[in-house]
Amino acid sequence: MGDLGGFFMKQFIGFLRKEFLHIFRDPRTMVIIFGIPIVQLMLFGKVISTDIQNVKIGILDQSHDNTTKKITSKLLSSGYFVLAKELQPGEDVEEVFRKGIAKMVVNFGPNFEQNLERDGKQDVQLLADASDPNTARILTSYAGGIINDYVKKEKLQNIQLPNQINIEVRMLYNEGLKSVYMFVPGIMAMILMLISAMMTSISISKEKELGTMEVLLASPLKPIQIVLGKVTPYLLLSFINALTIILLGVFVFGVPIKGSFFLLMGESFLFIMMALSLGILISTVAPNQMVAMFISLLGLMLPTILLSGFIFPIRNMPLPLQIVSNIIPPRWFIVIIRNIMLKGTGILYIWKETLVLVFMSFTFIALSIKNFKIRLE
Amino acid sequence: MNPYPDFRQKSPPLEGLGEANQKVIEVRDLVKKFGSFVANDHLNFDVYKGEIFGFLGANGAGKTTAMKILCGLSSPTSGKVKVAGFDIYKETEKVKRNIGYMSQKFSLYEDLTIAENIRFYSGIYGIKPAERKVKMEQLLKNLDIESARDSLIGSLPLGWKQKLAFSVAIFHDPKIVFLDEPTGGVDPITRRKFWDLIYEASDRGITVFVTTHYMDEAEYCNRVSIMNEGKIEALDTPENLKQQYGVKNMDEVFLKIARNKE
């Protein structure tokens, strides 16, 4: 029995050696496995970021009193804004936008401090370049927040206004509303789907396409050895990628891991297993590499990007899409990752999502076995 | 001029096969259905040790289906099949250890070198490294490609690939080697060179079971069976079949059988 087991392992190791040769000899595979994860994370983290940072603004100060100067310095020291130009009264404000000098202009009217202290109320005009409406909205709300905050704390302490409701907003778990916090879990889900599901399905259907699968099946290799041999390299590589993404997230983008690191890796492992079984399932349906790639891209990548809550919140989707999103595995994984990394919750709060992933894995494996048997008969 | 002089001489007469006409493949009432479609309709035949058995038929005649059943790639609907002395239902593992298989699209990995491919297949069949090295040297010398040992398969000409795929398929000295249209896409001269290898294997006692639709290849076989619509319509030596149908070559035999059906 020991000899038989040894032979089984030798066959398996020989198979693995071949698989790694395939991977390391194919530049496209190498790029997908090692290039794309890093590029994606950098792209989403740095370039497509919706964060406001060092945005150029203009100041049109018609009072030049203490209060306006303090507010200006508050704005400029917030890190969100830098001063591009001080405008003089009567200057053409639109010119600033047209020439692209600034994205927003803050206009303090004359006698700002006097009016504020006398009436307890004074207007500030915020002009924003709304050719990019999203950014304009965020800029004005940030600036408005900073100004109000200053006025309330410094100026209105002694003035009691009846029935005034102060709304204090605190963004828990992501106080800076940093979009990279949202992207790291999403990108992890996407990359792991890409490598585990897509690469496995392509690699298995490649053997079918080239006719080598029949040779393997006619050999003493057991089907389980073939499947494990195909899947193990991608399991390893996916795991390395999961680690890389988390490390980049933590050390480059400062995303916290508030919960247990081991739980995080355990859940990642579960998700990888789920994606691998999905990859096997795809390969039982796809007759060649092309089809496998299309099924993976259209059937997995698009829903992962659009329906998993990675970019668009599920709550804002029309009801039918919300229902569909339930069968998208990354949807559950993203919830798990956000909970562990940002909220620091333990397994007690994510056991439902975990069970969904376990259930999905078993379903995909069962379907694969069924398809495989039909093919053999 | 006779296009096949060498092989006529080399091909041993069936009676001379010896070893008491030991059966290596026995097929009795093999039926394979896909839904209501009958791909193999009660096939009955035996293949003897060392024989080159041609399995002919038009595309869709059911020859690939039957061959897949013999290789354990597919299971029959009913019937009794023994390959290399083992029952294909109960002793699939033993059957697989004793056969070699070469698929239509040859079967080597294009992105691996010759040596890497041989190493991989040796590992699957449990050939020890020391034995593998000796046999590999022999193989490379035999095919006269010693210099190409570390070339990727993808960079070799098709004729070489087919010869290599065949040599790898019999690397573990199987009792039977199954060849599924092994010489697709090459010219008759390259095909004849390929058949030199088949004769060598047959001389070593390896039974060769080959499907083809090239009629020149049919002439090279010891015996051929001709399938049509899931049934075996004829089974004999090429000589006897030509006499029986009163024609000069296998091409005409094949056409006559196909026409009789219609």
Q: Do A212 and B116 touch (CB under 8 A)?
A: no
Q: B5: distance to nearest CA of chain A, Å?
A: 33
Question: Which residues of chain B make contact with A216, given a CB cutoff of 8 A?
Answer: 124
Question: Which of A:23-52 have CB within 8 Å of B?
Answer: 25-26
Name the residue in chain B with its Cα closest to that of A21.
Answer: B112
Please count the CA atoms within 13 angstroms of the CA of B94 that sit on its side-chain side.
Answer: 10
Q: Say how many CA atoms lie within 13 Å of A170 toward its Cβ.
A: 2
Which tokens sit at B96?
């697989």
Residue of A215, A221, A288 best to disrupt the B interface, most CBs of B under 10 A: A215
Model ipTM? Answer: 0.86
Task: Determine whether the interchain pair A14/B93 forms a contact, defined as Cβ–Cβ distance below 8 Å.
Answer: no
Q: Which residue of B has its CA nearest to A4?
A: B126
Please name the helix (run of DSSP H) or strand (run of DSSP E) that holds residue B210, with its range, or none.
strand B207-212
- Tell me if B126 and A216 make a contact (CB, 8 A cut-off): no
Amino acid B6: pLDDT:
45
B201 CB-contact burial (10 Å; exposed 0-12 / middle 13-18 / buried 19+): buried
Longest dimension (CA), chain B: 57
Query: Given this model, what pLDDT does residue A301 score?
Result: 85
Give pLDDT tens digits along chain A (377 positions).
456 677 888 889 999 999 999 999 988 888 888 888 888 777 776 665 556 778 889 999 888 888 888 889 988 988 888 998 888 888 888 888 888 888 889 888 888 888 877 776 778 888 888 887 777 888 888 888 888 888 777 766 655 554 445 555 566 666 555 666 777 888 888 888 888 899 999 999 999 888 888 899 899 998 888 989 999 999 999 999 899 888 888 888 888 888 999 999 999 999 999 999 999 999 999 988 999 999 998 888 888 888 888 777 788 888 998 898 999 999 999 999 989 988 888 888 899 999 999 999 999 999 998 887 766 55
B97, B127 Cβ separation under 8 angstroms: no
> Quick one: B43 exposed, middle or buried, by C-beta within 10 A (0-12, 13-18, 19+)?
buried
Q: Which of B75, B94, B108, B111 has the most A C-beta neighbours within 10 Å, making it the best mutation to test the interface with A?
A: B111
Q: Does the beta-carbon distance from B178 to A11 stay under 8 Å?
A: no
Question: What residues in A contact B101, CB-CB < 8 Å?
Answer: 214-215, 218-219
Q: How far apart are the two ends of chain B, measured CA to CA in Å?
A: 33
Q: Do B120 and A15 touch (CB under 8 A)?
A: yes
**Binary contact (B111, A26; C-beta < 8 A):** yes
B110 and A210 within 8 Å at the Cβ level: the answer is yes
Q: Phi and psi for B215 in degrees, rounded to 5?
A: -75, -20
Inform me whether the C-beta atom of residue A11 falls under 8 Å from chain B C-beta atoms.
yes
Q: Where are the beta strands (DSSP E) in chain B?
A: 23-34, 37-48, 52-57, 78-83, 86-87, 99-102, 176-180, 207-212, 223-228, 231-236
User: Given an 8 Å threshold on Cβ–Cβ distance, is B96 in contact with A377?
Assistant: no
Tell me which residue in B105, B116, B120 faces A210 most closely, judged by beta carbons: B105
Are β-strands B207-212 and B223-228 bridged in parallel, bridged antiparallel, or unpaired? unpaired
The reported pLDDT for the residue numbered A160 is: 53
The tens digit of pLDDT for each residue in B183-207 reads 877 888 888 889 999 999 999 999 9
B152 three-state secondary structure: strand
Residue A321, burial from CB neighbour count under 10 angstroms (0-12, 13-18, 19+): middle
